[in-house]
């Protein structure tokens, strides 16, 4: 056996324990990291922990009425459900994926949220207006109190 081969084998043997130790450290660290990731996922899925709190806070965040009006460009006194629906359809279609444009899911989500906020506000406003009209009509229909 040539001397050169013996030197190469002895050098390889010197690295053998080092490589084995590095592999063991990597396996232990990888296992610990994997367990930590799984634990964090379980906490988030169960609604506990910091990640879950942040996710719930973002989910609860509601678009303000002013922000919704700006998104749909529906500012002013003459805002109707028809105008809101028209603006929604137009802006949603402009941000949809097409041959020329990959689309913007973020903007579509913002437009949909603004649409929902404005329609709920308009329905509440209509409900309050009809209640007030009903109260005024009821007051006129009531006979005067007897003494």
Q: Record the pTM.
A: 0.50
Q: pLDDT tens digits, residue range 100-139? A: 888 888 888 889 999 999 999 989 888 877 777 666 665 5
Res 5 pLDDT > 80: no
Interval 19-48 mean pLDDT: 81
State the Cα–Cα distance between residues 79 and 15, nearest whole angstrom.
Answer: 77
pLDDT confidence of 60, banded at 50, 70, 90? low
Whose tokens are 């609860």? That residue is 60
DSSP for 85-108, please give it.
HHHHHHHHHHTS--SS----HHHH
Res 47 pLDDT > 90: no
State the Cα–Cα distance between residues 99 and 116, nearest whole angstrom.
Answer: 28
State the Cα–Cα distance between residues 69 and 142, nearest whole angstrom.
Answer: 40
With b for 16 or more beta-carbon neighbours within 10 A and e for fewer, the 91-113 pattern comes to beeebeeeeeeeeeeeebebbeb
Whose tokens are 């930590």? That residue is 36
Report residue 122 as tokens. Answer: 């308009």
First to last CA, the chain: 129
| Residue whose C-alpha is closest to residue 110's, from 94, 90, 92 | 92
């Amino acid at each position: 056996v040539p001397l050169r081969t013996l030197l190469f084998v002895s050098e390889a043997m010197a690295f053998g324990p080092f490589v084995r130790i590095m592999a063991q450290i990597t396996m232990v660290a990888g296992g610990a990291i994997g367990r930590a990731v799984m634990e964090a996922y379980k906490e988030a899925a169960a609604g506990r922990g910091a990640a879950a709190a942040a996710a719930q806070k973002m989910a609860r965040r509601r678009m303000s009425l002013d922000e919704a009006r700006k998104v749909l460009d529906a500012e002013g006194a003459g805002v109707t459900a028809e105008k809101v629906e028209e603006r929604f359809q137009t802006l949603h279609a402009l941000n949809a994926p097409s041959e020329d444009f990959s689309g913007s899911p973020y903007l579509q989500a913002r437009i949909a949220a603004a649409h929902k906020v404005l329609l709920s506000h308009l329905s509440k406003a209509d409900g309050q207006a009809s209640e007030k009209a009903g109260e005024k009509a009821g007051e006129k229909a009531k006979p005067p109190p007897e003494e």
